Amino acid sequence: MKGNHDDLLLALHRAHGQALLSYVSRLTGDKALAQDIVQESLIKLWKHSAILEQESAATRAWLFTVARNLVIDDRRSARFRRESVVEVLPDLPVEDDLNAMLDVWMISDALTSLSEPHRRAVVSAYFLGNTVAEIAHQEEVPVGTIKSRLHYALAAIKISLQERGIEQ
């Protein structure tokens, strides 16, 4: 029996689908919404098997009435009142420098918690791009001392940032 209903529905779609789509498109002015409403109307028809078995003119009238009611329901919905269709989309969001500025502020704040020799080593290595050997020469200390300062300075910065809620 279900196969028979499916065949009836397919035949009704072939007979009335295009006219129903044109009708709903005129009501809505939106082809995609009209297609959705036609589909919903056909699903409602499929669920009401008694309507499927009526003569074609009565089924057509039922389909058009259901589609019209669905359009009315859509117009009354909160979604319709809040959304509006526009032809030109607004500008896409643009990346701003806020996150970068916050990162600089947090790192600068963390750097101030270091001792002066540790801060100079970090700034010289990571911001000025000097090698460990160059920093050691500038500071007039052994290379191992600069490596040690960088190691402990980075560990202290990590802890300082974690205390401020930054996990990375």
CA distance 162 to 119: 18
Tell me the pLDDT tens digit for each residue of 25-35.
998 888 888 99
How much is the pLDDT for 79? 64
pLDDT at 16 over 90: no
More confident of the two residues 147 and 167:
147
In 3D, which of 45, 43, 46 has the Cα closest to residue 61?
A: 45
Residue 3 pLDDT grade (very low, low, confident, very high; cuts 50, 70, 90): low
27 and 71 within one domain = yes
CA distance 88 to 80: 19
In Å, how far are 22, 72, 101, 132, 146 from 120, measured between CA atoms?
A: 75, 71, 22, 12, 10
Residue-wise burial string across 127-149, b where 16 or more C-beta atoms lie within 10 A, e elsewhere? eeebebeebbeeeeeeeebbeeb
| Count of CB atoms situated within 10 Å of the CB of 65 | 11
78 and 6 within one domain = yes
How much is the pLDDT for 1? 43
How many domains is the chain built from?
A: 2
Mean of per-residue pLDDT scores for the chain: 85
Sign of CA dihedral 104, 106, 112, 118: negative
DSSP letter for each residue of 114-144: S-HHHHHHHIIIIIS---HHHHHHHHTS-HH
104 and 63 within one domain = no
**Do the domain assignments include residue 87?**
no
Domain containing residue 102 = 98-163
> Which amino acid would we find at residue 34?
A
In 3D, which of 49, 47, 51, 17 has the Cα closest to residue 34?
A: 17
**Do the domain assignments include residue 92?**
no
**Do the domain assignments include residue 89?**
no
The residue among 82, 114, 137 that closes a domain is: 82
pLDDT at 94 over 80: no
Whether the full predicted model's pTM is greater than 0.85, yes or no, is: no
